[in-house]
């Protein structure tokens, strides 16, 4: 089997992060099960998942602060994990430019999540990249407002398709 593209590896990492979040399982257990399956993840996917797992609390704090008015637990599960993945790449993968990490996360949000997810992910990751001085000039700082309880937009419980 051929090696997946980085986009495919990111999507696979997102699927594993989503699985762990939905099932309430530790990321290392989900990753271990994936290795034992018929289609083990490639090294880039493993690196992304392990990076998010190792820094999840740090990533979540930064995301919660940047997503003003949004509670992390009320974000769509897919969006929350896209933000973790994107921020991990921005902050801890020096070979990945912030603009690439943001574009990849936005593309996945638009294809897999809600109508508003692309704009939401772009706004939060853009704000985080600028705070870190990574110059994501093309990213918007426009984060759609949550309702007064920090609830996610309609239809935001999971991916539109996987």
Burial of 162: CB neighbours in 10 Å, binned 0-12, 13-18, 19+: exposed
Dump pLDDT digits (tens) for 26-80.
Answer: 999 999 999 999 999 999 999 999 999 999 999 999 999 999 889 999 999 999 9
> Do the beta carbons of residue 134 and residue 87 sit within 8 Å?
no
> Do the beta carbons of residue 45 and residue 16 sit within 8 Å?
yes
**What are the distances in angstroms from CA 41 to CA 6, 51, 69, 100, 107?**
12, 14, 35, 21, 21
Backbone angles phi, psi at 58, to 5 degrees: -60, -45
Token readout for 57 is 């609390």
Dump pLDDT digits (tens) for 76-131.
Answer: 999 999 999 999 999 999 999 999 999 999 999 999 999 899 999 999 999 999 99
Q: Domains plus CATH for the chain?
A: 6-131 (1.10.940.10)
């Amino acid at each position: 089997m051929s090696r997946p593209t980085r986009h495919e590896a990111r999507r696979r990492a997102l699927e594993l992060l989503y699985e762990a979040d939905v099932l309430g399982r530790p990321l290392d257990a989900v990753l271990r099960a994936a290795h034992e399956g018929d289609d083990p993840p490639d090294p880039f996917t493993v690196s992304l998942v392990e990076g998010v797992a190792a820094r999840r609390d740090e990533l979540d704090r930064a995301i919660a602060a940047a997503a003003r008015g949004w509670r992390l637990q009320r974000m769509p599960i897919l969006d929350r994990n896209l933000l973790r993945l994107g921020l991990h790449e921005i902050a801890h993968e020096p070979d990945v430019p912030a603009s690439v990490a943001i574009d990849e996360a936005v593309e996945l949000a638009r294809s897999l999540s809600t109508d508003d997810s692309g704009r939401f992910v772009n706004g939060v990751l853009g704000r985080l990249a600028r705070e870190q001085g990574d110059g994501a000039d093309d990213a918007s700082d426009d984060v759609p407002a949550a309702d007064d309880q920090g609830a996610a937009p309609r239809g935001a419980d999971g991916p539109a398709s996987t």
